[in-house]
Structure 1
Amino acid sequence: MSRHMHIDALGGLSGDMFAAAMLSALPEAAERLRADLHDAGLDEHVALDIAEIRKSGFAATQLSFDIAAEAPPTHHWSDIRRMIEATALRAPVKQAAIAIFTGLAEAEAACHGIAVERVHFHEIADWDSIADIIAAASLIDSAGAASWSCSELPLGGGRVRTQHGLIPVPVPATAHLLTGFRFVDDGVAGERVTPTGAAILRHLAPRQGAAPAGLVLRGSGTGAGQRELEGIPNICRLLCFETADDRDLVGSIAFEIDDMTPEEISVALDRIRAGEGVLDAGYTLGHGKKSRIRYNVTVLSQPHLVEDVARLCLEETSTIGLRLEPLRRQILRRRAGRVQGLRSKTVDRPGGATTKIESDDLAGIATLAARRAAGGGTADG
């Protein structure tokens, strides 16, 4: 079984909202989270507080960090990176935390027109954000999800006061990080997605829209933000899905091509078939506009890698558009064996088991009649 996590950012998303929703959905991860915060060396300056509250009538988990008054400043990205690298954090948590922070630093650098190493996180609550990001990295690792998706993101509106003065929402770093994401204007103003929340989303690279079809819902969690919003609960809901069997769900990518030669399409499909996560690729011939010969291409992939395979299709062919959808499939139980020394595959069909000799093992037999005779035996193992 594999896990898929879906983020429904109803009220928005911040670092603490994400971590709270994850803890709500995966309460068993709390002990490991506390251990990771300790291994990150945060105990001296940061105290984790997890509370069960009601937010606009909904039961929710709220997470916050109490920062010691004597905690030293650690604003610069270069300082923060060195600090995280020197900790005793587990390797995957350390890597995820650095990746999230790197995205945030690159966004700030782009917005201010400076080198990444000179980024100064004066708009972020210092130790609080370090704790948020390490908590997010810890919980992402605990979830062990093979894939992620998220809803459309609330746009928000208005302005927020910063050390640079009043700036519009979404703030520049958030807008930079979420380029390519879809937003919805629900009419509620304010900063709905924070830079830290945006950096977490950019790191997860979720597909947007509903969770893939054919999954089994195993649990859910609700994380609460700190503010109260007018007319909408300031919560983030997280849905935790699993596949009953990885083989039951595949990703389907379909497209048409009418401007590649047979040689080019042959090479392209060979390269696509060799891609990670690709299960099969093929085409049928048809006629398109202006009576051109058209290749109707279908590629099947592992469901959590469909976006990567789609990108490969765009790189290897001349198509300018793809159709992506999840498909359920039914697979008969099969087992390997041998017939008279030749490899075979036996399949349990509704009417009884059938056996077929592997084609590669028949290829060395001299004539068609002999190959057909050798291919019609019964499995012996």
Structure 2
Amino acid sequence: MSATHIHMIFETGVRAGRLAPSLHLMCPDLAGLEGLALVEAVRAAHPGVSWSCGPLPVPEVGLVPAEVLGALAGYPLCVGMTEEVPDPAGVEMLRCLTGGVPGAMPEGAVEIVALGQEVRLLLCSPVAAGARDLVARISFEIDDMTGEEIAHATAWLRRTLGVIDLVLSQGQGKKDRPVTRFDLLADPQRLGAVGDAVFLQTTTLGFREEIVQRRLLERWPEVAGGQRRKRARRPGGGETVKVEADDLAELPTLQARRAAARR
């Protein structure tokens, strides 16, 4: 994909489960030579594109030289997310790339490019607004909770701020034990809090987490006949409508609910 915009995001804190309060979870390590060299290589490979960045992890403020803090004025900082002090050369490169302001990731297609152990960049090309977005995915398996405990945990997790969806499925795990697989989608900005909720509500000792890209149809809500509906535009221009299930719940039969859903 030919990039028209490059967005830098921080990885600092991800492996420790401490995520920056932002969608932008990973970025060049401004304290390391690896990050600087890789950013320079990407800049050479994509001349003329615009740049932006997510929040910058820094140590406690008292540990950061005043000149570095001054150079980062106007940039969002995640204080205490790292013990590494940003290198002045890295900060200067950041300011040069972004024009002295952090900017923002534009709407559009996103390709996640891994460029090393501590560096991730997003290459962005414009597409129809809302066609794609990024979500966090958490998955794990449980083999030592009762059905009642799983039901309670599921209810609490679905109410957790930041959880978009939660699906349970059955499988067979180690020692041929039956397992329940939890698969959550979450707002990346709240991934840390959602992960904490997983540990509080289940017996899992760990889970898999990743940032994934979704493709979405253009859609919008509407109300007709006292019912809430979602209308979506399909490829080719056709439209489909779905009535909110809660607005059909009081109808007494399946036939009546299906008929109302097609209105």
Residue 299 and residue 236 in structure 1: after superposition, are their counterparts in 2 closer, same or farther (change >3 A)? farther
Deviation at 1:344, TM superposition (A): 0.9
Rounded to whole Å, the distance in 1 between the matches of 2:88 and 2:107 is 27
Deviations 1:256-313 (A, max 9, x none): 1000111111111222222222111121011112332201111111123223322221
Structure 2 residue corresponding to 1:224, chosen from 86, 89, 95:
89
Instruction: Indicate if the aligned counterparts of 1:336 and 1:346 stay in contact, CA closer than 8 A.
Output: yes
Match of residue 70 from structure 2:
135
Instruction: Indicate if the aligned counterparts of 2:23 and 2:188 stay in contact, CA closer than 8 A.
Output: no
Instruction: Indicate if the aligned counterparts of 2:137 and 2:212 stay in contact, CA closer than 8 A.
Output: yes
Match of residue 257 from structure 2:
371
Residue 260 and residue 271 in structure 1: after superposition, are their counterparts in 2 closer, same or farther (change >3 A)? same
Match of residue 328 from structure 1:
213
Superposition pairs of residues 1-381 of structure 1, within 5 angstroms: 4=24, 6-8=27-29, 9-11=31-33, 100-101=60-61, 131=66, 135=70, 139=73, 142-144=74-76, 200=79, 203-204=80-81, 223-224=88-89, 238=94, 242=105, 244=107, 248-351=133-236, 352-377=238-263
Amino acid at match of 1:143: Y
- Any idea what SS the aligned residue of 2:222 has? strand
Deviation at 1:222, TM superposition (A): 7.6
Residue 205 and residue 297 in structure 1: after superposition, are their counterparts in 2 closer, same or farther (change >3 A)? farther
Residue 135 and residue 11 in structure 1: after superposition, are their counterparts in 2 closer, same or farther (change >3 A)? same
Deviation at 1:131, TM superposition (A): 3.3
Deviations 1:298-356 (A, max 9, x none): 11111232233222212211111211111000011111112322111111111510011
- Any idea what SS the aligned residue of 1:346 has? strand
Residue 364 and residue 333 in structure 1: after superposition, are their counterparts in 2 closer, same or farther (change >3 A)? same
Match of residue 61 from structure 1:
none
Normalized per residue, the structure richer in helix is 1
Rounded to whole Å, the distance in 2 between the matches of 1:132 and 1:275 is 40
Where in structure 2 are there 5+ consecutive unaligned residues?
1-6, 8-21, 35-57, 109-129
- Any idea what SS the aligned residue of 2:157 has? helix
Rounded to whole Å, the distance in 2 between the matches of 1:328 and 1:144 is 24
Match of residue 163 from structure 1:
none
- Any idea what SS the aligned residue of 2:259 has? helix
Deviations 1:191-216 (A, max 9, x none): xxxxxxxxx4xx2469xxxxxxxxxx
Match of residue 39 from structure 2:
none
- Any idea what SS the aligned residue of 1:249 has? strand
Match of residue 71 from structure 1:
none
Using CA pairs below 8 Å that are at least 6 residues apart, which structure has the higher relative contact order? 1
- Any idea what SS the aligned residue of 1:242 has? coil
Q: State the percentage of identical aligned residues.
A: 37
